[in-house]
Amino acid sequence: MASTATAPTPAKGHPKGLYLLFTTEMWERMSYYGMRALLVLYMVGATDKGGFGWSQSKALQIFGIYTGLVYATPVIGGFLADRYLGQRLSVTLGGILMMLGQFVLAMPGNSEALFFGGLGLLVVGNGFFKPNISTMVGGLYAPGDARRDGAFTIFYIGINVGAFLASAVCGTLGEKFGWGWGFGSAGVGMALGVLVFLAFGKRLLGDVGLAPKPVERKVGAAAAPKVALSRQEKDRVIVILVLALFVVFFWAAFEQAGGLMNLYTDAKVDRGVFGFEVPTTWFQAVNPLFIMLLGPIFAEMWTGMGRKGKDPSIPAKMAMGLLLVSFGFVFMLGASKQTETAGKAALMWVVAAYFFHTAGELCLSPVGLSMVTKLAPTRYASLLMGVWFIANAVANYLAGLIGGYAEKLGEFNLFMAITVATAVAGAVLLGLAPVLKRMMHGADATTPVAQPTSSEASPGLSPSA
């Protein structure tokens, strides 16, 4: 298993390693979201303008398969990091593969072989990168450290700074100057992320994320079949799996932003502002912009409620996320009704939907990442982070399938189905929240607690795993 010893941290503020991981993730997310903003538009784009000219349903199906695989491969990448490579080497390898994938997509010629080859490199690279950089954030903090949830909120803001840059840079270049320019700029962003990580990783991360020593791998492999999970560990893993099920509902709805909502905005929204037509890809920057604005507010809100002993449980926060994303789709219902009567929907309907989707995301996503690092047994830290991303994999695949039904059902009926499904899921999870909180056995406590036994330690925190 990978070494998960903690790096020295100051009494106040956050360790410098957090900001290195923030920066590395920022550039990687610029790369990913830059490609995401362009992908479906590229696939349905006219062939005389460099696109493939595919149907909307085919493009969304491919989009769903691709994004699903992106979030499925972290299980393998997490396992390899825990057992052999360590998180740090895995992040470097993943970043290099993703950089190459973007450059392959940028090659001229409109070749399907290059297109799918580039996507394949991105899928494999993300499998190494995604679970391991998140696990290292948790590895910077000791058990019960109240800064951990705040650290993941800071880290999450980094994700969305990258997503904002993606729309502003990659989206604009792709739409205005050619698809290759957009994909190429995403590759440059990933290259910058790898260089920053390699330049400062050794100095700022200490021994967090290093590969296990050969003797540790041998002993761990020999002992693994004999290790029993304690009752607390079993309950905590069950909580991860149950919450992952509900997360599927959230992301299947939320990820319409890159597919159906992207195409809907392109074709059926009046994007004119004072005589200027806003590029479609710029709408992908609305969510990260709201994250940057609302993230500090949410972080302070949770901290303030915690000081008063009123901080909602993790399952309750995630239920709020589902209810908020449901409410956001109410505005898409308004947009689709206006489209039926006026031909084009007002821009503010879509912006309002993104606002509530973002609020829901802040209740669910950074909280979920932090939760996994608290609940997962140390020896399976990156593996269970990968399992957590399986929920995203399933959700992204379903998002593509669901979005494709818009051509048959119409946008209004599809948005209504999404609204109802996420509202019901949120209500059910809210009802289950007290039970799930008990099954966490105090792992979400933000005050120092007694050191757990080696079989019960939180991931990324034990001096030796």
Distance in angstroms (rounded) separating the CA atoms of residues 464 and 448: 19
Which residue type, as a one-letter code, is found at position 369?
L
Give the global pTM.
0.75
Nearest to 298 by CA among 362, 371, 364: 362
Q: Which residues of 122-159 are buried (b: 16+ CB within 10 A; e: fewer)?
A: bbbbbbbbbbbbbbbbbbbbebbbebbbbbbbbbbbbb
Phi first, then psi: give them for residue 269, nearest 5 degrees. Answer: -115, 135
**Residue 276: what are its φ and ψ, rounded to 5°?**
-105, 130
Structure confidence at residue 214 (pLDDT): 66
Can you read off the two tokens belonging to residue 410? 């119409």
Q: What is the pLDDT of residue 116?
A: 95
Residues of the chain with pLDDT under 70: 1-12, 144, 146, 214-228, 445-465
CA distance linking residue 438 with residue 418, whole number of Å = 30
Give the pLDDT of residue 12: 62
Q: Tell me, what's the pLDDT at 453?
A: 39
Residue 63 to residue 402: CA distance in whole angstroms: 12
Residue 431, amino acid: G
Residue with tokens 């829901």: 360
Contact at 8 Å (CB) between 88 and 136?
yes
Position 200 scores a pLDDT of 94
Of 20, 52, 37, give the one whose Cα is nearest residue 186. Answer: 37
| Residue 284 pLDDT | 82
pLDDT of residue 341: 87
The predicted-structure confidence for 218-251, as pLDDT tens digits, reads as follows: 545 444 455 558 889 999 999 999 999 999 999 9
Residues 437 and 450: their CA atoms lie apart, in Å, by 19
The pLDDT value given to residue 41: 87
By the 8 A CB rule, do 4 and 381 touch? yes
Give every CB contact of residue 195 below 8 A, 6+ residues apart in sequence.
none
Gap between the Cα atoms of 463 and 14, Å rounded: 19
Closest C-alpha among 16, 14, 18, 15 to residue 26: 18
Q: Which of 451, 389, 438, 395 is nearest to 418 (CA)?
A: 395
**Rounded Cα gap, residues 1 and 139, in angstroms:** 14
Q: Torsion angle, CA of 318/259/60/182, rounded to 10 degrees?
A: -120
Over the stretch 312-324, which tens digit does the pLDDT of each residue have? 899 999 999 999 9
Q: How far apart are CA 55 and CA 251, in angstroms?
A: 24
Task: With CA atoms as reference, report the closest residue to 416 among 337, 362, 349, 343.
Answer: 337
Partners of 277 in beta bridges: 272
pLDDT at 114: 93
Q: Cα 106 to chain center, whole Å?
A: 24
The radius of gyration computed from the CA coordinates of the chain, to the nearest angstrom, equals 22
